[in-house]
Chains A and B, each alone.
Chain A
Amino acid sequence: MSKITYIESSGKSHTVDVKNGLTVMEGAIQNDIPGIDADCGGGMSCATCHVYVKENWFDKLPKKEDGEDDMLDMAFEPNKFSRLSCQIIISDELEGLVVNVPAKQS
């Protein structure tokens, strides 16, 4: 289990325990956190699970795989801290991770 914090665009914060091995996207869906759609179900095919990773966390995450940046091109207002949350797998190293959820996904 790792504690993950999701902050909605309104500022509302949700901290939940997510099982290691799940993705940050799955953690959001299982805990009914608004703002993450995940239309394609985790296939890196739709860019509707876009999050902004807190600056101090961004470099600690495993690097993006081929194709993730291509999908992020299509996300709503991506920036340099953008990731697809379906591609971030939770492990002990990510205890305390904070991500911001965009105002919308499309």
Chain B
Amino acid sequence: MINTDVLVIGAGPTGLFCAHQLGLIGLKCEVVDNLDKLGGQCIELYPDKPIYDIPGIPECTGEELTNQLIKQIKPFKTNFHLNERVEEVTKKDDKWLIITSKKKQFLTPNIVIAGGVGSFEPRKFSVKDSEIYEDKSIFYSIKDKSIFQGKDISIFGGGDSALDWAIELSKSSNVKLIHRRDEFRGAEASVKKVKELAKNGIIELHTQYQLDSVEGNGSINSINIKHEEGNIKTLKTNFLLGFFGLIMKLGPITNWGLNFDKKTIKVNTENFETNQKGIFAIGDICTYPGKLKLILSGFHEGALAARGCFKYARPDEKYRFEFTTTSKSLKNRLGVKE
């Protein structure tokens, strides 16, 4: 069990800057994110695309902004829990008990949800029974490649993950690569390699096909793939791998008793607290009259939510407003030498 002043859900720009504001006012926070890296949408959706509306920064990319935010919170030695999704939130006396997908537990008076549009999760196959076979015959990421040895593997997708795994697994399994069009979007060298392996009969390539159905009993024996024009092929298949990138899903957040408006959480604009005492929501996931889904709004919301957390984390202390330019105690927390 980890005791902390604040648990921040989401390590996008809003969550990261909120960690800064919390650190500055002397509160300890832990940050949980389902991605394997910091930065949220900035790093997953548009790491190379420029942003022009961060105050004081005329132009930067999603990756650059993320790196600067990480640098800015360095003094606070924040703990990050990546590849983990918050599953359960329950009231325990006057605190919140949080359980993650890795069964980690946190006890805290404050939760700040900076969850964006939801947590990033793999896009899945949508054919009948595909859920039944998940983690048995169907995988969206690979943890142990030894199970594929000598088997028939059908890999779906046109990006780097699909190509790289097709190349790698073709060394010891029968690989079929299926993609909905002739062009691949992965690295040029990998596309070339896959085409060469296909030419030499090492990989079976099926383009302009998509998954139509799976057949099996307990585990998959074969799959049917369908061409754009309608004809169907059956492929002997033991394992199915899908690499269609990530999608954002709200997930368990909707079960925590919060006041939702479509896919966003209603908050007050004084401290961005939700209808639940001690649960705050900031950034793209919150809504209030006049809400703008801008990073700069997320920064403001995080600053105010941090002050909101203070009163529950330090009920016997009075929050004192200070400037970083002049305050000795703030400079101490930042590790700035005078």
Contacts from A to B (Cβ < 8 Å): 39-41, 43, 45-48, 69-70, 73-74, 76-80, 104, 106
Chain B residues with CB under 8 Å of A70's CB are 158-159, 185
* Distance between A21 CB and nearest chain B CB, rounded to angstroms: 20
Residues on B with C-beta less than 8 A from A40 are 41, 45-46, 117
Complex-state Cα separation, A104 to B125, whole angstroms? 12
What's the least CB distance linking A90 to chain B, in Å? 22
Q: Which residues of B contact A76 (CB under 8 A)?
A: 123, 126
B218 shortest CB reach to chain A, Å: 27
Please measure, in the bound complex, the distance between the C-alpha atom of A106 and the C-alpha atom of B46, giving whole angstroms: 19
CB-CB under 8 A for A39 and B185, given A45-B46, A46-B45, A74-B123: no
For the complex, give the distance between the alpha carbons of A69 and B49 in Å. 18
> Which residues of chain B are near A48, meaning CB under 8 Å?
247
Determine if B249 and A43 form an interchain contact, defined as CB atoms under 8 angstroms apart. no
| Cα of A70 to Cα of B45 in the assembled complex, Å | 13
Can you name the residue of chain B whose Cβ is closest to the Cβ of A73? B158
* Smallest Cβ-Cβ distance to A104: which chain B residue: B126
Cβ 8 A contact of B244, one of A41, A69, A74, A79? A74
Which residue from A41, A43, A46, A73 sits with its C-beta under 8 Å from B247? A46
A81–chain B nearest beta-carbon distance, Å: 10
Given B49, B123, B180, B210, which contacts A43 in the complex, CB threshold below 8 Å?
A: B49
Contacts of A41 in B (CB 8 A): 293
CA A63 to CA B15, docked complex, whole Å? 38
Which chain A residue shows the least CB distance to B179? A73
Interface centre among A46, A80, A104 (most CB of B within 10 A): A46
Q: Which of A39, A46, A78, A106 contacts B180 (CB 8 A)?
A: A78
A to B CB contacts below 8 Å, 15 in the list = A39-B117, A40-B41, A40-B45, A45-B41, A45-B49, A46-B247, A69-B181, A69-B183, A69-B185, A70-B158, A70-B159, A73-B159, A73-B185, A74-B245, A79-B228
| B157 located at the interface, meaning its Cβ lies under 8 Å from any Cβ of chain A in the complex | yes
Q: Which of A40, A45, A48, A106 has the most CB of B within 10 A?
A: A106
Residues in A whose Cβ lies below 8 Å from that of B244: 73-74
8 Å CB contact of B248 from A46, A74, A78: A46
Chain B residue, CB-CB nearest to A48: B247
A6 to chain B, nearest CB (A): 18
Contact (Cβ within 8 A) B46 A43: yes
A47 to B244, CA, bound (A): 11
Residue on B with the closest CB to A67? B185
